Amino acid sequence: MAKLYLVPTPIGNLEDMTLRGIRVLKEVSLILAEDTRKTGLLLKHFGITNTMQSHHMHNEHQTAALIARRISAGESVALVTDAGTPGISDPGFLLVRTCVEQDIEVECLPGATAFVPALVNSGLPCDRFFFEGFLPHKKGRQTRLAFLATIPHTLVLYESPFRLVKTLQQLSEVLGNRKACVSRELSKMFEENRRAPLNDLAQHYTEHPPKGEIVIVVGEKPAEASENNSSQ
């Protein structure tokens, strides 16, 4: 039966591509890719020759309905992003919502995503956590930071290497100098998981400008702070 498949792709190490993911990409009628050039390299590595079409944040509003119609007409379609699971701080939500609204079956394969290994490897409590993704660059940024300060659980954020120091400094100013972990280049040769208070991490990356994709994990709100807020 025709359906939409969401297929996670490796965040670094190609060995993290699942056998099921490879099979689905070989069997579907069409592969939607955030960047066809990058996905093309992945497909070539695994000997996949299926047709690709661009589907990214700049065109997904226009293409979602068209793709849904193709699936309704009998085609199976797979959506991949440059790395990780579609829909997690990447395109995917609009297409999934469109398919769900039209009673089109959607199947998400389990697989690679950056925040899970970063969270588990941080050494910080991970029984409950709040995933923020990327903070707004400008408008609404301080509002989001103030909101995060009210969350009692471990926080998980994505960030670029160019804004990492600024974000660490702002997190420390608003949330306090909590324990944290910066994970970068996950699953790659130069993977790093650096654990320290936020101020120390900001100082380190000021002196050692980072490279690569980054996940920030911030420890839960100290018990005293949570009690004080709840009593106000």
DSSP string, 4-43: EEE--B-SS-GGGS-HHHHHHHHHSSEEEESSHHHHHHHH
What's domain 115-231's superfamily in CATH? Tetrapyrrole methylase, C-terminal domain (3.30.950.10)
pLDDT band of 223, cuts 50, 70, 90:
confident
pTM for the model stands at 0.91
Residue with tokens 């065109």: 59
155: which strand partners? 130, 218
Q: For the segment 145-179, what is each residue's pLDDT rounded down to a tens digit?
A: 999 999 999 999 999 999 999 999 999 999 999 99
How far apart, in whole angstroms, are the C-alpha atoms of residue 85 and residue 125? 23
User: Of the CATH numbers 3.30.60.50, 3.20.10.10, 3.30.565.10, 3.40.1010.10, which one belongs to the domain with range 4-108?
Assistant: 3.40.1010.10
The dihedral formed by the CA atoms of 70, 76, 82 and 83, expressed in degrees to the nearest 10: 140
Q: Which of 169, 171, 177 lies closest to 146 in space, CA to CA? A: 171
pLDDT of res. 59: 86
